[in-house]
Amino acid sequence: MRSLLVLPLVPLLLLAVPPARADWTPLSVKALGALCHATDATKHAQCLGYVSGIYDLQFAPRLPAGVCPPANLDAELLAEVVTAYLDTHEDGPAAEAIGQSVVRLFPCGPAAPKKP
């Protein structure tokens, strides 16, 4: 019976949600590179968090076929690999660059980096 009383309020709740910001833009390769190269601990932590978060969103819980990151991959190593990729590529969306760096630098099979 209570659910019947709440149903008429649902349209009002939808009106209370603020609209998405029109001026929001995704983080760029240059901006992420600046964070990752920063000596300031807070900025470097922002780099690690952003790179790790995008990696988790794109590659967890299951890696796509052909992607084989090393067993010792952690946030620092991932950020180093991504930063090296960022340094050699044009500006654009940072999230796309993170995905491309993982796909290109951690291939499976004969193109995979040799283990020491």
Q: In b/e form, how buried is each residue of 17-44, taking b as 16+ CB within 10 angstroms? A: eeeeeeeeeebebebbbebbeeeeeeeb
Please give the pLDDT value at position 23.
Answer: 75
Please give the pLDDT value at position 53.
Answer: 96
Please give the pLDDT value at position 60.
Answer: 85
- For each of the chain's 116 residues, which pLDDT tens digit applies? 555 554 555 554 555 556 666 777 889 999 999 999 999 999 999 999 999 999 999 998 888 899 999 999 999 999 999 999 999 998 899 999 999 999 999 999 765 555 44
In the chain, where are the structural domains located?
A: 25-107
1 vs 110: CA distance, rounded Å:
64
Give the model confidence (pLDDT) of 57-80 as tens digits.
999 888 889 999 999 999 999 999
- Residues forming beta bridges with residue 107, ordered by sequence position: 67
Please give the pLDDT value at position 42.
Answer: 97
Fold that domain 25-107 belongs to in CATH: 10k-s Protein, Hypothetical Protein A; Chain A (1.10.890)
